[in-house]
Amino acid sequence: MRFVIQRSTGAKVTVDGETTGEIEKGLVILVGVTHDDEQADIDYLVNKTVNLRIFRGNDGEWFDQSLLDVGGGALLVSQFTLYAGTRKGRRPGFTASAPGEVASPMFDKVAEAFELAGVDVQLGVFGAMMDVELVNEGPATFILDSTDRHRGRRRG
């Protein structure tokens, strides 16, 4: 599972001109699901995301507070293209992306996990063509991959 998280001072998703989700301060989180993702992947990424210190602290210091510390919201957007293969040819391939019948319930579980962590969750519409607007503060964008939980810490 992959998350691309963007620190935002405001964001919204619209589908066919209707706003389906909107946040003020918080994170826009693009969620990509692959074939073998499971609950442990969700738990790892949600815990990492809500506790990652990427917001300005009260003293003005950057990278001092987490999403939970600042009481920010999360705008979740399903994004199968996070697993696009671009190595061969000029057209991306999506064989590494989980099919909708697998990815949709996993996306719902991601939303539930953020809610259980105490985050106000707003959603895009799974599988829909969406317009995502955001003010990316910084800009600050981070890529999290659940396979990182199997890797040891780097030294140096």
What is the three-class DSSP state of 77? strand
Which residues are identified as catalytic? 79-81
pLDDT at 151: 80
Q: Residue 123: in which H helix or E strand, if any?
A: strand 120-123
Percent of the chain with pLDDT over 90: 92
**Separation of alpha carbons 120 and 15, rounded Å:** 20
pLDDT at 60: 86
pLDDT at 156 exceeding the cut of 60: no
Residue-wise pLDDT tens digits, 78-132: 999 999 999 999 999 999 999 999 999 999 999 999 999 999 999 999 999 999 9
> Which residues in 16-100 belong to E strands, given as ranges?
18-23, 26-32, 73-78
pLDDT at 153 exceeding the cut of 90: no
Domains annotated for the chain, with CATH where assigned, are 2-146 (3.50.80.10)
